[in-house]
Amino acid sequence: MANELNKVLRCEALKDKIVTAEEAASWIEDGMSLGLSGFTLSGDAKAVPLALAERGKKEKLKVNVFTGASLGPNVDELMAEEDMINLRIPYQGNPAMRGKINSGESFYIDQHLSHTAEWVRQGVIGPIDYAIIEAAAITEDGQIIPTGSVGNSPIFVENAKHVIIELNVNVPAEYEGLHDIFIPAKQGERKEIPVYSVTDKIGTPGIKVDPEKVRGIVITEKGDIPSPIVPPDEETQEIANNLLDFFRDEIKKGRMDETLMPLQSGVGSVANAVLDGMRTSEFKDIEVYSEVLQDAIFDLIDDGVVKFASATSLTLSKKRLDSLQEDIGKYRDKLVFRPQEVSNHPEVIRRLGIISFNTALELDIYGNVNSTHVSGTRMMNGIGGSGDFARNARIAIFVTKSYAKGGDVSSIVPFCSHVDHTEHDVDVIVTEQGYADLRGLAPRQKAEALIEHCAHPDFKDELRDYFNRAKDQVGGQTPHILEEALSWHVNLAKNKTMHKEAPVQK
Amino acid sequence: MANELNKVLRCEALKDKIVTAEEAASWIEDGMSLGLSGFTLSGDAKAVPLALAERGKKEKLKVNVFTGASLGPNVDELMAEEDMINLRIPYQGNPAMRGKINSGESFYIDQHLSHTAEWVRQGVIGPIDYAIIEAAAITEDGQIIPTGSVGNSPIFVENAKHVIIELNVNVPAEYEGLHDIFIPAKQGERKEIPVYSVTDKIGTPGIKVDPEKVRGIVITEKGDIPSPIVPPDEETQEIANNLLDFFRDEIKKGRMDETLMPLQSGVGSVANAVLDGMRTSEFKDIEVYSEVLQDAIFDLIDDGVVKFASATSLTLSKKRLDSLQEDIGKYRDKLVFRPQEVSNHPEVIRRLGIISFNTALELDIYGNVNSTHVSGTRMMNGIGGSGDFARNARIAIFVTKSYAKGGDVSSIVPFCSHVDHTEHDVDVIVTEQGYADLRGLAPRQKAEALIEHCAHPDFKDELRDYFNRAKDQVGGQTPHILEEALSWHVNLAKNKTMHKEAPVQK
């Protein structure tokens, strides 16, 4: 049930620029830099990258790919498999792309998601040869209306030499009006980002583009790739319960009421379980100022628990994607999509007093968090917006199961094999065992709280043993025995377990 | 040449509250929390802490001490020596205090300097029983005019149960008008911090206080402790030259002009040498948006190179302190002192596009920086404002000599023994060997640049050897051999050198 083309392509100056994806892809040359729409597989350019990947099968063609965040398979899978990506910024989540990154065949800059726009603006990266942007419509005055994400599209369009628009005629017309496009001026000439409340709209409904810069418009119909929703297991549910208990304790201490403060949540099963747990809780009139909206946020809006949600992107199940095709219009007064530079801006996050919760891969006994690197070396996905939020949030919470690999790996280790969030930026840790509020604690106190409340019982004795010996033998503000600090990871690589000796019974 | 008391104590309601330091100190009870003025030994409360330290010799008296940053000897030395400090926040730099922290006898929270005010406001720390604030004057309407620093005094006064003012009658009257006191509202009710240019004044000249809350006024005459100025050695001078060359290259690339962007500089000999180098350079009309002003900034103002400087504190030589006693008035239109919550606020730092340079203790081959912990365990001073600035700066620069301990220690190591600034937040490294611009580079490229341009020649081969073997044997986004990663530090502890084998010739 595609939209009539004249209803979505309304800019006269652009009506004669329709080309095939193949033709548009033919303009791209080896060594160019591309700025692509897309964030968490939502609103990504699809047709031109696919045609480009086809070219990559036959010719040597390697480009730099800058995006909002993770893209669908046409870029991060197909183009990676054809070895077409020289440099990838700022986030990805695809096994093929990850493989190329970890083998050193592609360069990857794992960047805070609010920073890429500044680099483009300053000329640290780029110039961007082509911005390729998915659109729901092009307005009379040449504004590009984005689809399921805004991401970095505005800054790419502003700075690109040429723009290619993928006009997706299968996107509900009601997407128009859901976006709020605001581009900060250069540093030094910039005023405030005037978002004082989650609901404030400060920009235009679309991305303004000089029609002269638009080289081609490709008509598409293909939808976003849905995200699988992993139902919570028992431990994920426990993490969610513990996090909600932390909120309750903050309320008891008089630091907030049951409307909390605006929430940012990472993506995944824990976030889904937490948000799900709020459906039947005492929390109410919740505001969300986040990066990505999952199904659970829409459920909470439907239930009247969340009153407004601001983000830069969606990541949804097939079921919710399908239903939004029909009913996105009903969320008109409940939603806004902003550029990631604004959704993740330190100014707004600090001003609004966001409570952020994101997933940790591992953490150490002093509360330093690794979000990205398995055993210090192999990239998983990237830091994403977790640093943007944790660093400037009112309360920066990290969640993780206390163990992994069936009990052979402790998520709490003596020493992190990689640090993405330092102890200065980590406020609360939540596992299925409980939570540790690290605020107001010195490092030695943090270690005691983390071992006591968050570590898995099978690892508590070994963690305590390390900590006590480090205090006795070495001392200091953050006692460590450097000979042993990374021995848990070394042991894991050699013996498939972090335990010094195999537990008596598995 | 003390000021006449009636000229500086102008608030009628407070004139009968003069007490001795001993009496004021007698009000303080074991277990209380104190909020003290003072930052880099400037503008610190002096008389009441001294009287308190005297009490500590005779009785058990342990308190929590919250400040702006480092204080003079009356607190961080005398009180620490008497074991009177339970918890210290957010920064210190005194050997006695450091000793108590590293032995675990005092708890220390090493906090970003812009964050303490938020914790006080939210009730995460406190309540503050007594704010003890040095003042140059108390105005007719009860505003406390600070002296050589603002620090956290405004938030301490706002939140304390009681206030004690140390009215220093030896401070030049011209201090009045140099401060700009602005206290953000609670998160959720807050508007922007309306600093759009380094020169903007947005608040009041003093800290408003309810006279009812002022329990006593202590008249003092003692000046701040001067800071020794270490003249640059050859290598410090080389670091400065390399940093200025980096600025020149940015100008060549068209990213800024010779007025640069507003500068933040850490304290110390490198900062002094850099600033000194600017005196005879092509750079002009420089603005400073920093935390602490050293002598060199005043020299640059005198020379007409710096046109305006904003900070929260001073750290000056005896010579400059003495001359300011006479001529501080002439800097009236060139200076402003703000609360550290504003001088270090992410919103303002990101908006203005600050270039920050701070000192690293060590860094690893991928650009993670340790600012605080010797061999991962022993606290030096603290992170200070380096994180506030680096995380939100336009360009975050860290400087260090490439070696220490006469060549036995490499400042660039395979793996940091502690991380305060992650690779996501570190843009440029400068040593006496050269500089590495890490922006736009993936980790493996960063390693090559750092080893090539910044490492000491005596360590280059060993660093390359580690990096190459890590790539070959392990691979990944940031290749590491975890068995070896901390071996340089372990070797240093055992053999007094990071070199695997003793160099042939020392």
- Which pLDDT score is estimated for B506? 38
Which structural domain, as residue segments, surrounds residue B325? 234-457
> Which bin fits B431, alpha (ψ -120 to 50), beta or left (φ > 0)?
beta
CB-CB neighbors (< 8 A) of B188 in chain A: 261, 352-353
Same domain, B318 and B350: yes
Q: A145 CA to chain B: closest CA distance, Å?
A: 27
Q: Are residues B165 and B256 in the same domain?
A: no
Verify that B167 and B288 share a domain, yes or no. Answer: no
Span B71-110, pLDDT tens digits: 999 999 999 999 999 999 999 999 999 999 999 999 999 9
**Residue A485 included in any domain:** no
For A217-258, the pLDDT digits (tens) are: 999 999 999 988 888 899 999 999 999 999 999 999 999 999
Q: Which tokens belong to A305?
A: 């628990």
Q: Tokens 């003290």 — which residue?
A: B36
Q: Tell me the per-residue pLDDT of B287-337, one tens digit each, with 9 for 90 and over.
A: 999 999 999 999 999 999 999 999 999 999 999 999 999 999 999 999 999
Q: What are the φ and ψ backbone dihedral angles of B357, each rounded to 5 degrees?
A: -135, 130
Q: Which residues pair with A265 in a beta bridge?
A: A357
**DSSP SS3 for B175:** helix
3-state secondary structure at position B388? helix
d(CA A136, CA A204): 15
Question: For the residues A43-67, what does the mean pLDDT come to?
Answer: 97
Res. B483: pLDDT tops 90: yes
Residue A210 pLDDT: 95
pLDDT of B418 over the 70 cut: yes
Write out pLDDT tens, residues A313-337. 999 999 999 999 999 999 999 999 9
Are residues B243 and B276 both part of a single domain?
A: yes
Residue A470, in any domain of the structure: no
In terms of domains, do A249 and A125 share one? no
Does A3 map to a domain?
yes
Between positions 344 and 383 of A, the ones with CB within 8 A of B are 345-347, 350-353, 368, 372-373, 375-379, 383
Q: Are residues A72 and A195 in the same domain?
A: yes
What does the pLDDT read at residue B1?
52
413-452 of A, contacting B, C-beta below 8 A: 415-425, 439-442, 444-445
Six-digit token pair at A148? 């399921």
Size of chain B, expressed as the number of residues it contains: 506
Q: Are residues A270 and A132 in the same domain?
A: no
Structure confidence at residue B502 (pLDDT) = 54
Catalytic residue (one of B238, B291, B362, B432): B291
A367 is in an annotated binding site: no
Instruction: Tell which A residues from 204 to 263 touch B, by Cβ distance under 8 Å.
Output: 253-255, 261
pLDDT level of residue B431 (50, 70, 90 thresholds):
very high
Count of domains forming chain B: 2
Residue B473 lies in a domain: no
**pLDDT beyond 80 at B374:** yes
- B68 assigned to a ligand binding site: no
Measure CA of the first residue to CA of the last residue in chain B; give whole Å.
56
Mutation target to probe the A interface, by most A beta carbons within 10 A, among B97, B128, B422 is: B422
Considering A186, A220, A254, which residue would you say is the last residue of a domain? A220
Chain B residue with minimal CA distance to A287? Answer: B188
The confidence score (pLDDT) of residue A1 equals: 52
- Angle formed by the axes of helices B234-252 and B269-278, to 10°? 50
| Residue A203 lies inside a defined structural domain of this protein | yes
B185 to chain A, any CB pair closer than 8 A? The answer is: no
**Interchain contact, A490 vs B482, CB within 8 Å:** yes
> What one-character DSSP code corresponds to residue A181?
B
Is A72 annotated to bind ligand?
no
- Amino acid identity, position A306: V
Q: What is the residue-averaged pLDDT of chain A?
A: 96
Per-residue pLDDT for A506 more than 50?
Answer: no
Q: Name residues whose C-beta falls within 8 Å of residue B240's C-beta, 6 or more positions apart in sequence.
A: B232, B270, B273, B274, B276, B277
Q: How confident is the model at residue B206 (pLDDT cuts 50, 70, 90)?
A: very high
Task: Return the percent helix, strand and coil in chain A, to nearest 5.
Answer: 35, 20, 45
Residue A486 covered by a domain = no
The verdict on B216 and B244 lying in the same domain is no
Alpha-carbon distances, residue B176 vs A308, B181, B223 (angstroms): 46, 12, 17
pLDDT tens-digit map of A415-471: 999 999 999 999 999 999 999 999 999 999 999 999 999 999 999 999 999 999 999
CA distances (Å), A382 to each of A111, B20, B282, B368, in order? 8, 59, 41, 16
Q: Is the pTM of this model over 0.90?
A: yes
Q: Mean of the pLDDT values across residues B347-363? A: 97
Q: Which domain-ending residue is among B457, B483, B500?
A: B457
pLDDT surpasses 80 at B8: yes
Task: Give the gap in angstroms from C-alpha A26 to the nearest C-alpha of chain B.
Answer: 27
A175 lies in a domain? yes
Residue-level pLDDT at B505: 44
Q: Is residue B495 part of a domain?
A: no
Q: Do A320 and A404 fall within a single domain? A: yes
**pLDDT at residue B230, rounded to an integer:** 81
* Per-position b or e across A401-437, b if 16+ CB within 10 A of its CB: bbbeeebbbbbbbbbbbbbbbbbbbbbbbbbbbbbbb
Residue type for A169, please? V
pLDDT confidence of residue A502: 54
Percent of chain B exceeding pLDDT 90 equals 94
- Please answer yes or no on whether B107 and A254 come within 8 Å at the CB atom: no
Report, as an integer, the average pLDDT of A175-195: 97
Nearest CA in chain B to A370: B422
| CATH number for the domain that contains residue B277 | 3.40.1080.10
Q: Exposed (0-12), middle (13-18) or buried (19+): which is B248, by Cβ within 10 Å?
A: middle
Assess whether B85 and B183 both reside in one domain: yes
Q: Report pLDDT digits (tens) over B119-170.
A: 999 999 999 999 999 999 999 999 999 999 999 999 999 999 999 999 999 9
User: Do both A275 and A354 map to the same domain?
Assistant: yes
For residue A505, pLDDT over 50 is answered with no
Domain co-membership, A55 together with A136: yes
Contact between residue A387 and residue A477 where contact means Cβ atoms under 8 Å apart: no
Among A424, A442, A457, where does a domain finish? A457
How confident is the prediction for chain B on average, in pLDDT? 96
